[in-house]
Amino acid sequence: MTLNNILKSILFSTSVFSIASSLPLDDFSDIQGPYCETIGCCQSRQDGCSFPVLGTLCYCDEFCTNMEVEDCCPDFYPVCRHINITTTIRPFITTRRPPPPPAPSTSCLYNGRALFFKQKVKDNCNLCECTEVNGKLELLCETNVCLMDRNIIESVNLEQDMLGWRATNYSEFWGRTLDEGVRYRLGTLIPQSFVMRMNPVRRIYDIHSLPRNFDSEEIWPRYISGIQDQGWCGASWAISTAAVASDRYAIVSRGLEEVKLSAQNLLSCDTMGQQSCEGGHLDRAWSFIKKFGLVDEECFPYVAGNEPCTIRRSGKLIESGCKPPRFSERTRRYTVGPAYRLGNETDIMYEITKSGPVQATMKVHHDFYSYEGGIYRHSDLNYGQKTGYLSVRIVGWGEEYTSRGIQKYWKVANSWGTQWGENGYFRIVKGTNECEIESFVLGTWPHVDRKILLAHGRRNSNRI
Ligand SMILES: *[C@@H]1O[C@H](CO)[C@@H](O)[C@H](O)[C@H]1NC(C)=O
Ligand SMILES: *[C@@H]1O[C@H](CO)[C@@H](O)[C@H](O)[C@H]1NC(C)=O
Ligand SMILES: *[C@@H]1O[C@H](CO)[C@@H](O)[C@H](O)[C@H]1NC(C)=O
């Protein structure tokens, strides 16, 4: 290159468009050089078959003539097409090539992202793979119904005023299937039919004396169990049973026997006809406590798994390796009387005011997992059909003024951690057996140690 040519090149590269397009043709011969001659001529489109020139790239592939504006290197025609340059040269415009179109035959698209052959990606609870179908690559996904569903969340929130509750996306549940939810977030087996025929106890009280709002946690602060998280273990049967028994021990003993009873004790040791993390029967759980009693949580902590029964199945507390309880009179495990069934809405209310929270079993539909707050009622939009049973603890009730009028609700403790719902609780329509929640409600009577009441009772008698 001459000095003049070099200067021109620099000039071109600073404002290539304006200068190049207005240059007389013959000046273009100045930037001729061994481009295609150096790198060779390429077939069809090959973006790598290029040479840096004028601050951009020129190409020596056949595609360089296919564009509205050519981007061939100056010596493309003489070298690659053997055509006399002075008659065919056209202005060399430094237009960038459009990006290559996605080639469906070499990749799959997922959310605008290209996946290569055999690449896998998780779409919520479904695994997808870029697979060859009839000679083309296609993204094939599993078709599980997912626990968290964008459509459920959106449609519930659209109908929020009508339904009375809101839905949200729980990251703990995202990526799981509805089947996993039913299997490991519920865990209450339907009672055997003879248990379902068990007659409710009869209660005598004045219906009008029942308050319109009641919250065990306000009446008996400190005595009511907090919210637990069962984890991915179908243990609601064990957790709700141990919690109701604990609450009642504290309430009936007026705080003298405030104890957190071990749900793991049930999960691991109550194995006859029970399925540990795969679910259990409530009637069997209560019979177990009646017969063998439970140790406290500290003695056998919850691990959300099918842990073997590492404590002795029966015997005194200390013999099982538990710490001595607050009062030395308590030597035996915590047992209860037979569980009894409550027959209707007002009986349940009366029972809670007298003895504390009760155990209830509800049918769980797909929309319930996304509950964020408000008064739940099953939305009956067409979702995943798989349902299961969850046992919970009814701790109180109330009324709320809504666009539909006055709405009565139960306040219920769930066992999905405090991040879920209203700090671990949910409210549900009351008085209409919503999700069967009023059809199998149980209470029990704790065997508070009489000697403890006699020896220590007096100074606590004004607590309630
Ligand atoms: C190519 O062009 C030159 C003039 O620049 C001319 O003398 C020559 O004959 C041409 N050759 C062919 C093969 O057309
Ligand atoms: C739900 O949460 C997960 C994890 O936090 C997130 O990846 C997902 O995109 C969310 N889904 C929706 C529908 O918001
Ligand atoms: C519930 O049953 C009791 C008897 O156990 C009865 O006195 C009461 O009226 C019933 N309540 C309702 C709402 O039917």
Q: The domain spanning residue 415 has which CATH number?
A: 3.90.70.10
Claim to verify: residue 135 and residue 232 sit in the same structural domain: no
E strands, 99-233, in order:
108-110, 113-115, 120-123, 126-133, 136-141, 165-167, 214-215
Q: Quick one: which of 96, 92, 95 has its CA closest to 30?
A: 92
Q: Quick one: which of 11, 45, 17 has its CA closest to 30?
A: 11
Q: What pLDDT was estimated at residue 403? A: 80
How many whole angstroms separate alpha carbon 386 and alpha carbon 368? Answer: 12
Q: What pLDDT was estimated at residue 17? A: 37
Q: What is the CA(432)–ligand 3 centre distance, in A?
A: 14
Q: What pLDDT was estimated at residue 92? A: 54
Q: What is the CA(171)–ligand 2 centre distance, in A?
A: 6
Structural domain includes residue 103: no
Claim to verify: residue 49 and residue 189 sit in the same structural domain: no
Claim to verify: residue 49 and residue 188 sit in the same structural domain: no
Claim to verify: residue 59 and residue 125 sit in the same structural domain: no
Q: What pLDDT was estimated at residue 90? A: 54
Structural domain includes residue 454: no
Claim to verify: residue 271 and residue 413 sit in the same structural domain: yes
Claim to verify: residue 173 and residue 28 sit in the same structural domain: no
Claim to verify: residue 289 and residue 190 sit in the same structural domain: yes
Considering its fold, how many domains does the chain have in total? Answer: 3
Domain-terminating residue out of 29, 46, 81: 81
Structural domain includes residue 148: no
Structural domain includes residue 123: yes
Q: Quick one: which of 345, 408, 363, 385 has its CA closest to 145?
A: 385
Task: Determine whether the shortest distance from the Cβ of 26 to ligand 1 is under 6 A.
Answer: no
Could you tell me the pTM of the whole model? 0.75
Q: What is the CA(28)–ligand 1 centre distance, in A?
A: 17
Tokens of 132: 């060859």
User: Strand 126-133 and strand 120-123: pairing?
Assistant: antiparallel
Structural domain includes residue 247: yes
Q: What pLDDT was estimated at residue 425? A: 98
Structural domain includes residue 102: no
Claim to verify: residue 133 and residue 197 sit in the same structural domain: no
* 392-409 residue pLDDT tens: 999 999 999 988 789 999
State which ligand 1 atom lies nearest to the alpha carbon of 87: 2
Locus of tokens 């007659």: 199
Structural domain includes residue 450: no
Among protein residues, the one with the nearest Cα to ligand 1's atom 14 is 84
Q: Which residues of the chain are modeled with pLDDT < 70? A: 1-32, 67-69, 84-105, 194, 382, 458-464
Q: What is the CA(204)–ligand 3 centre distance, in A?
A: 9
Claim to verify: residue 71 and residue 11 sit in the same structural domain: yes
Claim to verify: residue 417 and residue 275 sit in the same structural domain: yes
Contact between 70 and 64 under an 8 Å Cβ cutoff? The reply is yes
Q: What pLDDT was estimated at residue 48? A: 84
Among protein residues, the one with the nearest Cα to ligand 1's atom 10 is 84
Q: What pLDDT was estimated at residue 464? A: 42
Claim to verify: residue 63 and residue 190 sit in the same structural domain: no
Contact between 452 and 256 under an 8 Å Cβ cutoff? The reply is yes
Which domain, by its residues, includes 376? 154-443
Structural domain includes residue 100: no
Claim to verify: residue 250 and residue 313 sit in the same structural domain: yes
Task: Determine whether the shortest distance from the Cβ of 343 to ligand 3 is under 6 A.
Answer: yes
Q: What pLDDT was estimated at residue 100? A: 62
